[in-house]
Amino acid sequence: MHDIRMIREAPEAFDAALARRGLSGMSSEILALDQARRGKIQAAEEAKAAQNAASKQVGAAKAKGDEAEFERLRALVSAKKDEVARLNDEAKAEDAKLTDLLMGLPNLPFDDIPEGTDEDDNVELRRWGTPRDMDFSAKEHFEIPAVQSGMDFETAAKLAGSRFVVLRGAVARIHRALAQFMLDTHVDKNGCQETWAPVLVNEAMMYGTGQLPKFGEDSYQTREGMWLIPTSEVTLTNLVNGLTVDEASLPHRYTAHSQCFRSEAGSAGRDTAGMLRQHQFEKVEMVSITHPDQSRDELDRMTKCAEGILEALGLPYRTMVLCTGDLGFGMHRTHDLEVWLPGQGKYREISSCSVAGAFQARRMNARFKPADGGKPEFVHTLNGSGLAVGRTLIAVLENGQQSDGSVTLPDVLAPYLGGKTTVAPDGTLR
């Protein structure tokens, strides 16, 4: 959410930044609501002062035996009390309108974010690795003989519908090994604290990280009003919801492996084959809570952590900075990691690392206490996939496929697979 004081002080700069995201002239509507709210508050304060002054005079009139003045003052007190209540209610209504408006506006892009309308305008920062030269026609993950017995979409559709999968045998074990490898790397090498948290959260937590109110249709809600998390960004970031932490404790770095749930609203017809786009999937998430002065550097550090997973697995990738038209709702800047998928012959997103600045912290009222004893300030928040487990599984299978239908696995997974390094064409680990 945006700082209303900043909008009051620099409405033109605010409008110029939002215009880069396709929104124009928002400050005038915001400031009109803000002025109306502040006017009601001031009028309520003035009415309250008049009520208090009249209340003090009531007793004096009674003592003098001036019944007419006593009745006039008593009526005035009652009228001012009603006026105060009415003005406070009106101020709350204006405040609710203002909050709803601010809650629905996206974060402001950093000045160095490239202009653009969609993913075609994203800019490549760097790339690592060279796609393997295959002397056969590369298959997509679900077509590889070694994979077919362990990736069952038909049974999943019977159980739950489209965009679900049942994993079995070697494929299920590799999926689990990948998540374990990612967690161990982020904890042992990248300094994150492993965390396990609920996948069901209340509405306030979804508001805190910006999934609500704008993107409710993208998530699943239970009949009791709870929400299934689209990613553990929601739970990990909200660990500091409503808290004021000590500056010396920053940064907080968390990682979690969790189930994630997305309705994939608006994705009809996209990636319908295979398990690239699912309603239920797993991610290993990273979240950092930082001092404002450290957040931009933390984004680069987090991006390197995600890149390190891909490099350890030997998967070619490229790192992109998202343009203004593709930037996430709550983010100042986002780095997408796109892994090479031989079966599709293209790079596909496997991780997004983003800095939200104070945008989420203001919604959550998450602050830090400066070491010098100054006034508490909002922390900055960041999140990143480290990585999407299912998509990493796809990349490992496609990049490791062999002409005989087997799959050669990355060496770093061997300790998690009992020393085995290959999936044979019949689907067994060897």
Q: Residues 267-285, buried b or exposed e (16+ Cβ, 10 A)?
A: eeeeeeebbbbbbbbbbbb
Task: Tell me the C-alpha to C-alpha distance, in Å, between residue 118 and each of 21, 75, 156, 192, 273.
Answer: 11, 64, 33, 32, 23
List phi, psi (to 5°) of 240. -105, 10
403 is in an annotated binding site: no
Taking the alpha carbons of 387, 391, 396, 399 in that order, is the dihedral positive or negative? negative
233 is in an annotated binding site: yes
**pLDDT tens by residue, the chain, 430 residues:** 999 999 999 999 999 999 999 999 999 999 999 999 999 999 999 999 999 999 989 988 888 888 888 989 999 999 999 999 999 999 999 999 999 999 999 999 999 999 999 999 999 999 999 999 999 999 999 999 999 999 999 999 999 999 999 999 999 999 999 999 999 999 999 999 999 999 999 999 999 999 999 889 999 999 999 999 999 999 999 999 999 999 999 999 999 999 999 998 767 677 778 999 999 999 999 999 999 999 999 999 999 999 999 999 999 999 999 999 999 999 999 999 999 999 999 999 999 999 999 999 999 999 999 999 999 999 999 999 999 999 999 999 999 999 999 999 999 999 999 999 999 999 999 9
∠ CA 264-322-305, rounded to 5°? 90
Q: Which three-class secondary structure state does DSSP give residue 1? A: coil
Closest to 291 measured CA to CA, from 209, 212, 190, 372: 372
Cα–chain center distance at 292: 18
285 is in an annotated binding site: yes
List phi, psi (to 5°) of 220. -105, 135
- Residue 384's H or E segment, with its range, is strand 380-388
- Tokens 């997004």 correspond to 352
Identify the burial level of 302 via C-beta atoms within 10 angstroms of its C-beta, where 0-12 means exposed, 13-18 middle and 19 or more buried. Answer: buried
Could you tell me the strand order of the sheet in which 377-378 lies?
244-246, 367-369, 377-378
383 is in an annotated binding site: yes
Q: What whole-number distance in Å separates Cα of residue 305 and Cα of residue 254? A: 13
For residue 157 the two structure tokens come to: 């559709």
Is the CB of residue 381 less than 8 Å from the CB of residue 374?
A: no
Q: What whole-number distance in Å separates Cα of residue 362 and Cα of residue 292? A: 13
Domains of the chain: 4-103 (1.10.287.40), 119-423 (3.30.930.10)
Q: What whole-number distance in Å separates Cα of residue 34 and Cα of residue 31? A: 5
67 is in an annotated binding site: no
- DSSP designation for 401: B
Is the CB of residue 312 less than 8 Å from the CB of residue 387?
A: no
- DSSP designation for 429: B
Closest to 348 measured CA to CA, from 391, 384, 314: 391
Cα–chain center distance at 38: 32
263 is in an annotated binding site: yes
262 is in an annotated binding site: yes
351 is in an annotated binding site: yes
Task: Tell me the C-alpha to C-alpha distance, in Å, between residue 207 and each of 133, 204, 228.
Answer: 47, 5, 13
282 is in an annotated binding site: no
- Tokens 């362990």 correspond to 150
- HSE of 44, CA atoms in CB hemisphere, 13 A: 16
385 is in an annotated binding site: yes
pLDDT score of 332: 98
